[in-house]
Structure 1
Amino acid sequence: MHRGARLVNAHFLEMMKRKEFDGFLSGFHLHRFEKGSTVCEPGGADDAVFIVVSGRLRAYLSCEGREFTLALLEQGAMFSTHTRAIVEASSYAELMVADTAVFQEKLARYPQFAGVMIGILAEFLGSAFTIIESLVFHDVRQRLAELLVAAVETDGAARTSDGVTVSLGLNTEDLGQLIGASRQTTSQLINDFIRQGLIEKTGGRSFLVKDLPGLKAACGDGEG
């Protein structure tokens, strides 16, 4: 998965099962969101922290009719409602939500959790800087190539003589949101990469990366 557009900490929920964290989730309440519904947005009245129990959320900024995805929040990810980001449910999602004041009390009671929080914040900050850099200096073709290369390097599986299979779990519209392009443009770019022999669709939401060096070269190609 694109290193600049995913915020996953699946081990967090497992940590909550450890004895030293008994009672941490007391004060959190389960909230359910249907696909497409808004979890929070700038200027909202909520001041809370939430943990993703299931599903996927998208945190993004909206400016002059354009949307810039900051992160995909999946199981185990933690986020806040009082950022400048809009958070929307990309699928049916379940969240454990607590007021910020309650969460602050939890941090004071469980100081060993501070290290986990620092890691989460560092990951998101790194994600934000990567996305800003990509949006400023790279065009959409480069951003799609970067996404696919990062997917090979982080999530690649089934390496064969033909290439590396990556399962992004994203449809064309989702991919477009990650690279800041329309669905039509994203589809055209994917077809271009297929014609060039760089990738091949393998069904569903997976690709076979056939020419990784060529795809890496496309990351630095200035063509728009």
Structure 2
Amino acid sequence: MHSQSHLDPKSLTRLKSLAWMKPDQAARLATDAVALKVPRDGPIFQQGEASSRVYILLTGVAKLCYVNRDQRVLVGLVGPGEVFGLSSLLPPTTRPFRCEAFTDCTVAVVKPEIFVETVLGIPAERLSLVLDVTVGRWWGMLVRYANHVGLGLRERLAGALLDLATKFGVRDSRGTLLTVKLTHADLADLVGASRQRTTEQLNDFEREQVIVRDGRRLIIVPEKLYALVQAPPED
């Protein structure tokens, strides 16, 4: 069970990553943050929940995991002084990873707007817009890579097509038309498979009517593709 307490400003400035903060900054941040004690293997935040807080690891080690169907992928470990839960600094989104205490941990928890305005001295909305058009795409690639680990070609290709439909799609009466022209070799590179196997899987998708070919253009049916990705694996 987690326990909460007030945060001592010195617990922040003792961290190498935040030692540069002025005493008044540390005091303001400590006033608006909460110190959370999390026992080993306890959850810090859940995958899929709304991103609404920034976390600073004060003591211990935490781990970020991606739970993909029945598989658990260890994305990385977090050490003292690291700031994490950074999806909350991007436009409204949900947590792509689950975070747990690898050892007993003490974590500072603060609202993203408080963290940004106190530590950086700029409006959180401005930072969010800048991050979205800079590191946002790299964050998306990290999440997609973690999502692909352990998946078969069918699921990887479906996920890649859904991502492309979100970024480069326009609505069509039959689904979502991709405005970017990609060859089968391009898609094969995107999902880490041979062109032949990728072509075979695209043909299967077409027979299942989750994609539609219109000459050289590709139309995605997102609802059907998403259902395919979420379906339990066959025995």
TM-score range, shorter chain: 0.3 to 0.5
TM-score (norm 2): 0.40
TM-score (norm 1): 0.42
- Higher radius of gyration, 1 or 2: 2
Instruction: Name the structure, 1 or 2, with higher relative contact order (CA <8 Å, separation 6+).
Output: 1
